[in-house]
Each structure stands twice: as C-alpha cells, then as structure tokens.
Structure 1
Amino acid sequence: MSQVDATDLCGWLRATCGSYSYQLTGVLRSSNTVDLAWPLIAIDAADLASQLADRGQLMPLPKEPAALANVLEVSIVDFLLDRVVRVAGAGARRGTERGYPDLEIFGSAFGGGFHAVDVKIAQRKVLKRKASTQTQSRITLYTGNTYFRYPDVQWPGTFRAFREYASHLDVVGIYTLDDTSPGRVRDLEIIVQPPWRIASKQRSSTTREYIGAVMGLEDLRSGTGEFSSEAEFYRFWKAYKFKIGPAVQHQLDKIIAERSSSPDTPPPTEPLF
C-alpha cells in the first residue's frame, strides 16, 4: 500500500486520474442470428475487438449523452475504488445510482473525516471551423432545493448530510463524441476541482433546480469559476430562490416528522448555511 499526503485528496485524485485509460470498446452481444465458430482465439485486446465486430457481436455504446455519461461514471468510479484500497489508511464506498456522492472516501490517509467525490461527464461542444472551447451543456454541481439547501439533513440516496463532509470534490470527464467508434468517446480529459471553483451563477436547467458550472474548458481546467471564494459561492446560492415543489416538500415534511421524534436532533425548519 502507498502513503499519501494526508491533506491533499484533491491532488491525489488529479494524479490518480491522470493514469485512467478509457477502455470501453463497446457492448458484447452474446449470440447472433448465424452460427459462430467457437472457441474464439485472439492475440490481444485489439484483435478480440476486431473479431467480435466482424462476427456481429460488438455493439456500439449509446450516443445519448445521459446514457453514455452513466457508463463513463461507473467506469471512473470503479477505477478510483480500485486505487483507493491501495492507499494505507484510506477507504471508500460507492454511492447509489441517483444519489450523492458517487464515491465517499474516508480514513486517516486523507486527514480523517468523510469526503464526497462526485463524477461529472460532459461532451465538448462541436464546432465546425475551430477547436472546441466549451462544454455542450452546463454541468450540474448540486440539486439546489434539497441536499444543498438543507445541509444538515440526510436525504434519501445519501450516506450523510451535506455539512458532515470534510470536503466536496468533482471529478469532471470531458469527451468528444465519436460517431464512428463503438466506444463513442474520443480525447477524454479528466479535471478535478472543488465544486465552488467551477461554479457559475446560472442554473444548469431551465426546468430543474440545479446549480450549474461554468462552460469554458479553460475555466474548468484552471478552476476559474464565477466566484472569488467559497464563502461567496455559498452566500450567492443560499440566497437563491429555489422552487420547492410538492414532492420535495412532502419529502422534507416526512424527514422533519421523523427527526422530531428524536429530542437530540431538532427539525430542519430553515436552510442552515
């Protein structure tokens, strides 16, 4: 097991993600409409992929951004889980599919406490006559009207309340869509930043209460968002008038009712930043 700087999880993630290699070639179809000769013998991975494609057994990954992002997220989380267990004094566990975070890291190796590591995937905007300078759409950093707005509440799909994390970090994968490749992904770049450093003052959706990131690739790389400090980021989004719909309010009321039965845990009647 390796030793790491106990205070620099962000640095460790950057160094570790630098060795990540995208190796998702496609989807295996176990059978075909024609009889196939077995066993299949290949000399290496490229030969195997070529033979499977020739046999009609290698199907392309989906092009739809959300579906492809999910595949990439799982691959990157698998990679990080494998690397974390090699660090003395560190542990990790995978989050739920639609919860937060994608990966929770803990242990003495990174200064103790719990650290939230969320994986984001974005496609580069396609430009005809010049190199891409921004993402196709705005990355979502947080759901603003639930977990972020009520940081002392443990919402469904989470390990613990927002405030209980010693740090929050985003692992952002940026790729170019390749229609000609069954793997669909070309020029994958991984950026690691604290969310506030890449945050914008815009929502990432016109219909959902999501906090959005800046879209410029250089801004994402350098951590040059629209806020000069973490405190400014929290002040701005604390004051933002997020809509609390009936479903969210019902969920919050249920949590408040459950917490009110415990005298040691006061109900969260107001956002608590």
Structure 2
Amino acid sequence: MTEKFVEWLRDACKGYEVKPYAIYHKVPHEGASWPLVANDADELAALLQKRGHFSALPKESAALANVLEVSIVGYLLDKLKDLPGAVGTRGGERAYPDLEVSGDAFGGGIFAVDVKVARRATNGKQTHSRISLYTGNTFFKYPKMKWPGTFRPFGDYTAHISLLVIYTLDTNSLSRVTDLEVIVQESWKVASKQRSSTTREYLGAVLDLKALREGRGEFSTRDEFYKYWRAYGFKVGRAVANQLAKLTAEQAA
C-alpha cells in the first residue's frame, strides 16, 4: 500500500516544474503602451520584465521555501483530481501535514505528505542545512492525540512521507531556483540521530544528498527510529505542557 503510493508520488513529481517565476507588479514603467502582444509564454515573460512588471522572488530560504511548497502541493492536488478514487487535502500554514492523501486508489490508506524545501550546499553533495522532519515534543511524541494544526492523530496515518524539494540558489535568476530535484521517501528512512536546530525541538534528516535519494538514513527500521526519537529529551515549554494537559484531560473524559 505504502510502496504503491510512494511510487505514484515519485512518478507524479517527475512532471513538476517551478511555476512561480517572479513577483508581478501591476503598474509598468512610465510610458509603457497597451495592449501587450506576445506569441508565447517566453516572449510574454521577456516583455513583462522589460516593462518593469517583475521583481525577483525572495532569496531568503524560508520565504522561498514557502513559495515552492505552495506550488508543488497545488500541482499534486491537480494530479490527484484526475486520479479516480484519490482524495487530496491541503494542510494549513504551520500545520502537519502539508498534504493528506487518501482513497481507494492507494488501497484505502491515509498518507501524510510533508514538503521540505532545501538548498544545496556549495559542494553539491549535501543540503545547505539539515532538513527538519518533525517537531519532537508534540504530535510526533504523542501519536494518539489530535494536536492543534493537524488533521488527525499522528498514529492514524498509514505512512508519513517526506517530499524533499532540493534546489540550487541562483541569485541572478528571477525565480532564484535552478537544478530542481524532488526526492520522495518515507520520513524515517531519511532521518538522522541529530537535531536540526539547537534552539527548537526539531529532529533532523541526514545531510548527504545521495543518502536522501537512496533512503539511507541512520536507522535500520521504522521501530528503531521511533524508539530513539520518542525517548529523546526534548524540552517541553509552558505552552506545550498546557496543551498536553488539556489533550490528556479531553482524552480521559
């Protein structure tokens, strides 16, 4: 069931191209005339840029990642609409997952697809920084509870899939993105034993791109992965502790 879905997702992503091209400005340079006539998309883009309608997408990693995430999830939702027996639902901002997929097309399972966008390191062999797979002290640690910002408890999913969007930053390009690569793996298969942040409670993926492509993380089995990270001593702040107490009380009622 999971293998069938992962293979469909990989195949679907082969056709993805970066759709966001630039930020559009409605008002052109002074003196620009209308109507604007172009024979194809490339000519139209060139004319719009010449007239001052475009500025580049943000090059800051988090901002650019949000743009690419919205784009690829929209692309996959369109693909799912054309697939009989498949249902796709987009997640919210700062929510898990970015895309939920279910339906008879994949054997009736429910799959969580989380999009992770990462820039290549200058050596071309690693991600620039470690990808964050999960927040370790909330829905991941307590998989039977429905946390705010989730569709359902973590443990209700058939599988958790990481859709990794890897790019090279091109500061001279309007879209900022070149050499796009999409990697699809079960999340545990690309996990490391390292946190992805020293200040936030995130568990991280391996850095090596070849290992990401091959699903060769630092854990041999799914059970080993969950045992290690659910026992990890993540900090629990007051807000998380209060939410946990509330969910525990609701579950006991």
Which deviates more, 177-186 or 22-31?
22-31
Which amino acid counterpart does residue 255 of structure 1 have in structure 2? L
Q: Which residue of 2 aligns with 1:267?
A: none
Identify which of 115, 118, 121 aligns with 2:111. 115
Cα distance in 2 for partners of 1:239, 1:97 equals 28
Preserved contact between residue 170 and residue 178 of structure 2 (Cα < 8 Å): yes
The size of the alignment, in residue pairs, is: 253
Cα offset for 1:172? 0.4
Cα offset for 1:19? 1.0
Q: Which residue of 2 aligns with 1:203?
A: 195
Q: Which residue of 1 aligns with 2:97?
A: 101
Identify which of 46, 51, 65 aligns with 2:47. 51
**Percent sequence identity over matched residues?**
54
Identify which of 79, 86, 89 aligns with 2:85. 89
Query: TM-score, length-normalised on structure 1?
Result: 0.90
Q: Which residue of 2 aligns with 1:29?
A: 25
Aligned-CA RMSD value: 1.3
For the residue of structure 1 that corresponds to 2:18, the secondary structure is coil
Cα distance in 1 for partners of 2:195, 2:181 equals 24
Cα deviation 1:197-224 (Å, max 9, x = unaligned): 1000001000011010000000000010
Q: Which residue of 2 aligns with 1:176?
A: 168
Preserved contact between residue 2 and residue 158 of structure 2 (Cα < 8 Å): no
Preserved contact between residue 2 and residue 159 of structure 2 (Cα < 8 Å): no
Which amino acid counterpart does residue 135 of structure 1 have in structure 2? T
Preserved contact between residue 7 and residue 111 of structure 1 (Cα < 8 Å): no
Q: Which residue of 2 aligns with 1:268?
A: none
- The alignment status of 1:218 with 2:210, answered yes or no, reads yes
- The alignment status of 1:39 with 2:31, answered yes or no, reads no
5+ long unaligned stretches in structure 1: 262-273
Cα offset for 1:7? 5.7
Which deviates more, 25-34 or 207-216?
25-34
Which amino acid counterpart does residue 198 of structure 1 have in structure 2? V
Identify which of 66, 73, 78 aligns with 1:77. 73
For the residue of structure 2 that corresponds to 1:93, the secondary structure is strand
Cα offset for 1:6? 8.4
Query: TM-score, length-normalised on structure 2?
Result: 0.97
Q: Which residue of 2 aligns with 1:60?
A: 56
- The alignment status of 1:20 with 2:16, answered yes or no, reads yes
Cα deviation 1:89-127 (Å, max 9, x = unaligned): 111110011100000001111111311011110000114
Matches within 5 A, 1:208-247: 208-247=200-239
